Amino acid sequence: MTATGERPATFRDVLAVPEYRSLWLSGLISRAGDQLARVALAVLAYSLTGSATVTTLTYALTFVPSLIGGPLLGGLADRFPRRRLMIACDVARALLVGIMAIPQVPFPVLCVLLFVVQLIDAPEKTARIATTPDVLDARLYVTGVTLAQMTSQLTMLVGFGVGGLIVTAIGPHAALGLNALSFALAALVVATGVKERPASRTGRVVSLGEMATGVGLIIRDRRLRGLLAFALLATFSIAPEGLAVPYAAALGGGTVEAGILLCAIPAGSVVGMYLVNRLSAGLPALAPLAVASCLPLVVTALEPGVAVSAAAWFLTGVMSAYQVIANAEFVRVAPPERRGQTVGVAASALTAVQGIGVLISGPLADRTGPPATIAVYGLAGTIVALPLAVAWRRGRAVAPQPESR
């Protein structure tokens, strides 16, 4: 919200801040490389094993480490200078992914390296989030967060959509090499464009007590619990991403078709975010969009073909833009003195449950087939969202509404 008479911040305003521009650009580069690597790893796993379980297990390894890394290692962003931490994490990931790009590396070793790479992602991401309020004032902060989320979805769209074409053209190992280069470039952007700042506090590097404090804040606050519960519905809408390659194969398609399907949801999310912003959709739209977001996935049970499936997944992405509303309100409601820690715990929980959702979908797909599995996830997400929406509406009916500023 802006003060009376103050011009609302624009994307151009936040990009005019040099440090934010460096943070945004480095995140954009590394995320694009990540999405390309996810396509490459899914294709590599499926080509080596022919198993949907192994494919989704490999994909889930890009999420599951947040169960450990997010809550425990995210605190490194408070214990060390954040600029140095971001650079160190990006350089380490560049080296590890560079090893993964070597064709002779055995598949089990590849999985171990992937796990470590994603473990390192947690403190880097936390440092980036925690640095953003230092480089943007209060008027620009929310717009900066919105821009970061929109470009994150755009990089998913480009990474998945173009990823299939790139992997087909150069092969999965060369694609992993490009991912390693993206991390090195991201480190260079941070090193040259972000100012050095001291660590925010001293103390133990890894503390279970600190993690428990962040978790406890969310558990005790009804609003934070409800908003996080809506965000965690992504557990169900993530299934199409993990099963895109097997699902495309079930429809008679290949890598290109899988890339088209993979880009459908992020493309829809970008459109949804634009509409939410353009229509000034606020908290009243949160519950209805959340309930409807997974429902289009049910159509995959009919195996309608790539075009109809992509359209259904696109619609899921559009309605999943409720996540932007939930995120903005979560940040507003979180206690200012613990905002970074609380948001970090929530982000880690979201990433972790997405990995779990993908992990479970693989064995289910091996038994019932990818089309039926995705449909089950869509139906389950809708059923789970209904009581959340009812509880949220009841809570808002009795809770005092925030004053306009």
Tens-place pLDDT, residues 189-231: 999 999 988 876 555 555 566 667 767 778 888 888 888 999 8
pLDDT for position 93: 93
d(CA 96, CA 177): 10
The mean pLDDT of 153-176, rounded to a whole number, is 78
- Ramachandran assignment for 369, one of left (phi > 0), alpha (psi -120 to 50 degrees), beta (any other): left
Cβ burial 11-49 (10 Å sphere, 16+ → b, else e): eebbeebebbbbbbbbbbbbbbbbbbbbbbbbbbbbeee
What is the predicted pLDDT for the residue at 403?
Answer: 42
pLDDT class for 398, splitting at 50, 70, 90? Answer: low
Among candidate residues 382, 354, 72, 329, the one with its CA nearest the CA of residue 221: 329
The pTM score is 0.69
Alpha helices in 205-305 (DSSP H): 208-220, 222-231, 234-237, 239-242, 244-250, 255-278, 286-293
Domains and CATH numbers, the chain: 11-196+207-398 (1.20.1250.20)
**pLDDT of res. 397:** 54
74 or 324, which is more confident? 324
Query: Which residue type does 372 have?
Result: A
Please report the pLDDT score of residue 358 as a whole number. Answer: 78
pLDDT of residue 7: 65
Describe the chain by its helix, strand, coil percentages, rounded to 5: 80, 0, 20
Highest mean pLDDT among 104-108, 190-194, 251-255: 190-194
In tens, the pLDDT along 41-98 reads 877 877 777 777 777 777 767 666 766 776 667 667 777 888 999 999 999 999 999 9
pLDDT given at position 132: 81
**So what's the pLDDT on residue 39?**
79
Mean pLDDT across 164-179: 85
Cβ burial of 143 (10 Å; 0-12, 13-18, 19+) is buried
* 233 three-class SS: coil
Lowest mean pLDDT among 62-71, 246-255, 312-321: 62-71
- Which residue did the predictor score with more confidence, 399 or 58? 58
Instruction: Specify the pLDDT at position 51.
Output: 74
More confident position, 2 or 95: 95
Mean pLDDT of 19-25: 94
What is the residue-averaged pLDDT of the chain? 81
Q: Classify 335 as helix, strand or coil.
A: coil
**Each residue's pLDDT tens digit, 138-157:** 778 767 877 888 888 777 66
Q: What is the pLDDT of residue 1?
A: 40
Residue 240: pLDDT over 70: yes
> How far is the C-alpha of 13 from the C-alpha of 24, rounded, in Å?
13
| pLDDT the model gives residue 194 | 93
Q: Considering the chain, what percentage of its residues have pLDDT values greater than 70?
A: 84
Q: Are 42 and 55 in contact (CB under 8 A)?
A: yes
